[in-house]
Amino acid sequence: MKNLKFVTKLFLFTSVLSFMIACSTTETVEVIKEVPVEKVVEKVVEKEVIKEVIKEVAPAPTYAKSINVRDVFFFTEGFTPPRGGSFFEHRISQQIYEGLTALNTPMVTRGDSAVPVPNLAESWEISGGGTTYTFQIRDGVKFTTGNPLTGQAVVDSLKRSIHVIELDKATARFSWVTDIVSIDATGDMEVTMVLKNSFAPLLAILASKQFLIVDAAELKKHEEEGDWGAAWGATNSVGTAAYQIDSWVAEQRLTLKRNKDYWGGHDGVGPGADQLVFSNIPENATAELMISKGEVDVALQMDPISLKTLDLQPKVYTFSYPSLITCNFLIDRRNEHAANDEIFKAIHMAIDYDGLLSVVAMGLGSVHQSLILPGMLGHDPAISNQWKYEPEKAKAIIAEQGYPDGFSIKLQSRAGACGSVVYTKGIEFLQASLKKAGINAEIVQSTGSKFWGQIIDGTLKDMGISGLGATYFDPDNPASVRATSECFLLGIEEHNPTVAAKLKDLVAQGRAETDNDKRHTIYRELNEIMVANCGEMTVLQVADTVALRTNITDGIAMPHGFSLDFRYLRKAE
């Protein structure tokens, strides 16, 4: 009996000991797992004994072939440049087409200054005082159609983009194209573009959607009514990028497959998955359940509340990156109150920027009060963060200007959102914010079309809200769109003709100047004038946030701020 007890105790002791050893071995294995593969190899050389163990526990990572992505489809004119204006179309175009230049993705994600880097153009030379650009085209690149990328193919692609822009009567939006004197293949792999005037934003524009390189010869085969294949290209891809369209079913699914002949990209990163399946899941609650359960791996376009909920899920994480979208409050400078410069200043002081960011935008973004964004030449934090919420000071200024009891104003509320800021919530918050400064704001319901119609007609009497984005990552974009257009529609010319003339002059100078340091100074000045005078008051820079399963790594945003760069995504199996 005693023996039996002893044997039992011995058995239990041995079992516990074995278990502990086993556990300690596992711990070691787990530690080794976290060591990068190269270091593990070094250890193998040092200690022959653990060689086999390491080999077993640290196999080369394997990645899933397919990544499921939740998106909200908004299809207008399709994916092939220069057409397609929705964020969704931009997002997809950037996965299937490439430009002559590119913006360094990780650099822009960090918010550093972005300078165009070589992409399909291996190098370039600017001569003739900024009027002649000579590009050396990268050798060995193929379109997904099998045709090689040559100087002539690039020329055809650029000419096709201009052709379609003219066909769509969209030249006003790309006014610089009328300055093009010639685009010629000056060698097998060389393209020369001559412009009438120096045009510094060109390199950034060549990285933007409208001038991404397409196989124009293939598109020509599908021409209908002189559209150079624009209609066919809406749902077909003929690019050189990491992915190509495999299938498209409207409102349901878009499948992109790996381009087998992909040349590797300007940063040497090839696609991590063989296919990307984009599904149209409009309802956030449904998408939230799908990513929580693992049916989708990446969820784009989630609302802030869903993102906060998903942050609590153990197998999901969220990732934010600055977008090119800003939220803005608009007021016409011809408005009886806004026409007074002091009251205009007081209105700036009557906006609770931090509250708006934390309460309405749920922290997804940053306070930003100017048109030029971080990473662009001309950006200066001292200008972009100059206004503070000082309701008492604002109240005093308003009283000094002859309104001791404050004044009344109407706020137009409407459907829509700029990033995580739902317009109705933004307007309600503004109303409460203004109230503390003695401005009695009444909310009136409106529509986007009414609001913009009034801006165009110059009849906007009320204050409103809008979200605006940029189409290329250069200060010329916000400068040309806002400084010389929206600012003018909001009455700057009638309010202060000197400032209006100065703005126009600075935009022209910024375009012509090729020296980056000088451009920085020009845009800094322009930005300062805009913030002080323009009726479009930028309040926030919105962040794009995506939700990802924890087995998805390397989420890196694209520099245009519309999406992740899907080449980087890896899904561990």
Partner 1 sequence: MNIGKFILRRLSLQIFVLLGLTMFTFILMFGLPGDPAALLFSAGGIAAGMDEYHAFRAKWGLDLPMWKQYLNFVGNLIRGDMGTSLVTRAPIIDNLKAYFPATIELAFVSFIFATVMGIPLGIISALKRNSWIDHIIRAVSLFGVSMPIFWLAIIMLIIFYYYLGIVPSSQRIDLEMEIPKQITGFYLIDTVITGYWDGFFNSIYHLILPSFILGFSVVGLLARVTRASILEVITQDYVRTARSKGLQEKTVIGRHVMRNALIPTVTILGLLVGGLLSGAVLTETIFAWPGVGRFAVQSIMLLDRLAVVDITILIGVSFSTANMIVDIVVAFLDPRIRY
Residue closer to partner 1, measured from CB, 234 or 396: 234
Paired tokens of 336: 């009886």
75 binds partner 1 (CB under 8 A): yes
Q: Which of 456, 461, 497, 505 binds partner 1 (CB under 8 A)?
A: 456
292 binds partner 1 (CB under 8 A): yes
566 binds partner 1 (CB under 8 A): no
Q: Report the distance separating Cα 402 and Cα 340, nearest Å.
A: 11
The β-bridge relationship of strands 439-445 and 421-422 is unpaired
Residue closer to partner 1, measured from CB, 156 or 486: 486
Q: Which of 122, 190, 267, 295 binds partner 1 (CB under 8 A)?
A: 295
313 binds partner 1 (CB under 8 A): no
85 binds partner 1 (CB under 8 A): yes
172 binds partner 1 (CB under 8 A): yes
Q: Report the distance separating Cα 91 and Cα 243, nearest Å.
A: 12
Helix (H) or strand (E) holding 381: helix 381-384
Q: Is 92 helix (H, G, I), strand (E, B) or coil?
A: helix
417 binds partner 1 (CB under 8 A): no
Minimum distance, C-beta of residue 452 to partner 1, in the bound complex (Å): 4
Give me the helix-helix angle, 304-311 and 284-293, nearest 10°. 20
State how far the alpha carbon of 537 is from the alpha carbons of 40, 241, 344, 425, 520, in Å: 55, 38, 10, 17, 21
Q: Which stretch binds partner 1 (CB under 8 A): 10-18, 352-360, 466-474, 556-564?
A: 466-474
Paired tokens of 376: 């662009």
485 binds partner 1 (CB under 8 A): yes
Q: Which of 31, 249, 305, 432 binds partner 1 (CB under 8 A)?
A: 249
Residue closer to partner 1, measured from CB, 102 or 276: 276
List of residues 6+ apart from 223 with CB closer than 8 A: 229
Residue closer to partner 1, measured from CB, 187 or 448: 448
Q: Is 13 helix (H, G, I), strand (E, B) or coil?
A: helix
Do 440 and 408 touch, CB atoms closer than 8 A? yes
E strand intervals along 407-456: 407-413, 417-418, 421-422, 439-445
Q: Which stretch binds partner 1 (CB under 8 A): 93-101, 261-269, 462-470, 495-503?
A: 462-470
Helix and strand numbers (H, E) in the chain are: 22, 21
204 binds partner 1 (CB under 8 A): no
Q: Which stretch binds partner 1 (CB under 8 A): 180-188, 279-287, 329-337, 392-400?
A: 279-287
Find out whether the peptide bond into 391 is cis, omega within 30 degrees of 0. Answer: no
Minimum distance, C-beta of residue 480 to partner 1, in the bound complex (Å): 7
List of residues 6+ apart from 196 with CB closer than 8 A: 131, 179, 180, 181
333 binds partner 1 (CB under 8 A): no
Residue closer to partner 1, measured from CB, 200 or 492: 492
Residue closer to partner 1, measured from CB, 125 or 224: 224
**Residues making contact with partner 1 (CB under 8 A):** 68, 74-77, 85-86, 169-173, 247, 249-253, 277, 279-283, 285-286, 289-290, 292-293, 295-296, 415, 446-453, 455-456, 466, 468-469, 471, 480-482, 485-486, 488-489
